Chains A and B, each alone.
Chain A
Amino acid sequence: MADLQPDNAYAKDRFPDPKKTVEFPEDVKKRFDHILTLYPTKEAALLPTLHLVQETWGWISPEAVHYVGGLLDLSPATVFGVVSFYDMYDQKPVGKYRLRVCTNLSCMVSNAYDIYEHLCDRLQVHPHETTKDGRFTVLEVECLGSCGTAPVVQINNDYHENMSVEKMDALVDQLK
């Protein structure tokens, strides 16, 4: 199979490495089995299963896509199609901390871009890139549903509200 793999970077990202296989650890497998019981079709378990993948390995690798396809009787292309549609599924390894800065209107007029641009400058990354030490990924995101306490930054699962450049700096210092 290896010689069939196209040489361009886009396709490479989407082909599993035949030498690598992935499998859920036992406890995650149990959660997966439980998820299957909650829906009338196997396919409906796809989104929750992809959340499990991301929780387990931090991102959704091509190997994981094939693995999930196998678990749910879906083609890898179908799974890729879903993974790439939803913003929260990461198709590349990301930093230990995802800094998701909302810049939608209510946050924007509360100076969210100052925070976002400051983070890119301070961490020396382009938007949506990860720092060289693998700690931070800076992301510009759409409204987080917390506009009354703008500006808002989501760090991994947690919301940080009423943010400012100073508070952001203090948080980043802590997370180092």
Chain B
Amino acid sequence: MEPIKVLTANIDKPNSASIDTYLAGGGYESARKALGMKWEDIIQLVKDSELRGRGGAGFPTGMKWSFVPRNAPKPTYLLCNADEAEPGTFKDRVLIEKDPHLLIEGMIISAFAIGSNPMAYIYIRGEFHYGATVLVKALEEAREKGFLGKNIFGSGFDFDITVHRGAGAYICGEETGLIESVEGHRGQPRVKPPFPAVIGVFGGPTVVQNVETLACVPLIVKNGADWFKSFGTPKNTGPKLYCVSGKVKKPGVYEFPMGITLKELIYDHCGGITGDRKLKAVIPGGASAPMLTPDEIDLPLNFDAVMKAGSMLGSAGIIVLDETVCIVDAVWRLAKFFAHESCGQCTPCREGTNWMESILDRLERGEGRQQDADLLLDMSDNIGGKSLCALGDAAIGPVISSVKKFRDEYLHHVTHKSCLPGTKRYRRLDMPVGAH
């Protein structure tokens, strides 16, 4: 499969973030076209394209839009999820920094289709300070040209966008955590139902959509649903950004039609494994996705195929681990992440993630017990499906898959009180724990 340049068509142009560059490539024509269409027709078009959310869950976008009531007592809101905090994921950042107008145009069209209130928000993680300044500048440019503000393209549609910066909390990427955070609260997810499409931010119907999802929208309006479906396979359509990191020779963001195989991506396009070593495990969809072993990588990277293989495409953050990485060390680091990022509302998630981190830590220290592998599985059982949001389920993905697939390596830590020969623990064990 050859790489494509569809979502990334502009990013290598000089001054790619400026509105002049964007306009020279036909920018904002899709928005002009869409605002002359009936909103029902735009939703139908997006449904026909079979576009699915790029933020993690792969939910059909057009269907989500059709859930929005048109006569709700409170205004409807569009929120762009630019929190991008799933470890292994760094694609939205490229679009934000290099082609912000594509995102803005996507938001104008999407907001018009769902009947959004005049103000929408881009929730960008606090660490992306540069990205936020790029967006603020791009929004100013769009306002000057009349693409934002009152009566856009003479359609009678009033619309503007505010950049809302997060402040360092992974859980604010979860859509109801994000809504809470926009409202000025701690980012603690809400119980669903009611779903955000019915009652979301400020009490109004709310659509939360990932950056890459929104960036697909102008392309669909411009080229049609059939064109979009010509990439990928039925129900798994469109151009897709894949983030590859870890032990590969050429890490980075790659664009392919949805469904390139993991094997081809790693070996033909990323140059294979660092130092031509052996592959040990791959996480295909960000830290939340269960691990795959080398015999499982002849796998099309689309939502359904990866799900069928027992993992998930998630945010398409592909983390490659080679034979020198100690699996217990790798899983410990992910467990530490989830323990730190648990918002603390649900006891199984709050207590369980911390406990899993300390069991993995004691295995690394040579203080593990014979039953620890099973204890981890048992705990996972008590977190999964018993917590309020998907972070709880995410936290157990790497743990369960690694215990099942690398049990010998876990046991080695108990019997030999050290990592497998030839594998390495990356941190020192004598560092004092810092205050968080």
Contacts and interface: CB of A to CB of B under 8 A. Distances in A.
Contact of B184 (A46, A110, A112): A46
A135 B288 CA distance: 36
Interface residues of B, number: 64
Interface in B120-170: 125-130, 162, 164-170
B74 to A, nearest CB: 9
Contacts of A139: 434
Interface string B253-295: 1000000000000000000000000000001000100000000
A41 interface: yes
Nearest to A128: B434
Given A44-B184, A142-B85, A50 B167 contact: yes
Interface stretch (A2-10, A18-26, A145-153, A165-173): A145-153
Contacts of A128: 434-436
Interface in A12-36: none
A52 B406 CA distance: 48
A97 B283 CA distance: 34
B369 interface: no
Contacts of B433: 127
Given A88-B126, A109-B247, A145-B93, A129 B434 contact: yes
B27 interface: no
A97 to B, nearest CB: 15
A142 B428 contact: no
B431 A143 contact: no
B244 A148 contact: yes
Contact of A86 (B169, B253, B319): B169
B86 interface: yes
A146 B92 CA distance: 10
B186 A82 contact: yes
A43 B180 CA distance: 11
Interface string A42-64: 01111110110000000000000
A111 B184 CA distance: 37
Given A38-B119, A48-B165, A81-B186, A109 B431 contact: no
Contacts of B252: 148
A40 B202 CA distance: 8
A interface bracket (residues with beta carbon within 8 Å of B): 35 or more
Given A127-B434, A142-B341, A150 B84 contact: no
B334 interface: yes
A82 B184 contact: yes
A109 B87 contact: no
A81 B202 CA distance: 20
A100 B334 CA distance: 18
Contacts of A146: 90, 93
B245 interface: yes
B321 interface: yes
B162 A147 contact: no
Contacts of B128: 145
A33 to B, nearest CB: 15
B317 A82 contact: no
Given A45-B184, A85-B187, A105 B434 contact: no
Contact of B168 (A86, A109, A157): A86
Contacts of B129: 157-158
B184 A47 contact: yes
A88 B172 CA distance: 13
B346 interface: no
B183 interface: yes
B192 interface: no
A82 B126 CA distance: 14
Interface string A99-143: 010011110111111100100100000111100000000011111
Contact of B183 (A43, A86, A129): A43
Contact of B287 (A44, A105, A141): A105
A144 interface: yes
A117 B428 contact: yes
Nearest to A126: B432
B337 A143 contact: yes
Nearest to B283: A105
B245 A88 contact: no
B130 A143 contact: no
B219 interface: no
B412 to A, nearest CB: 19
Nearest to A54: B167
Interface in B85-130: 85-90, 92-93, 119, 125-130
A126 B431 CA distance: 8
A113 B428 contact: yes
B62 to A, nearest CB: 27
Given A86-B168, A147-B90, 17 more contacts: A38-B119, A39-B162, A41-B202, A48-B165, A50-B167, A51-B165, A88-B127, A105-B246, A105-B283, A106-B246, A109-B321, A109-B325, A147-B245, A148-B245, A148-B251, A157-B130, A158-B129
20 contacts: A39-B119, A40-B119, A43-B183, A45-B184, A47-B167, A72-B184, A88-B126, A88-B127, A103-B333, A105-B334, A106-B88, A108-B329, A109-B325, A113-B427, A142-B341, A143-B85, A143-B89, A143-B287, A145-B128, A147-B245
Interface of A: 38-41, 43-48, 50-51, 72, 81-82, 85-89, 100, 103-106, 108-114, 117, 120, 126-129, 139-150, 154, 157-159
Interface of B: 75, 84-90, 92-93, 119, 125-130, 162, 164-170, 181-187, 202, 243-247, 251-253, 283, 287, 317, 319, 321, 325, 329-330, 333-334, 337, 340-341, 343, 426-428, 431-436
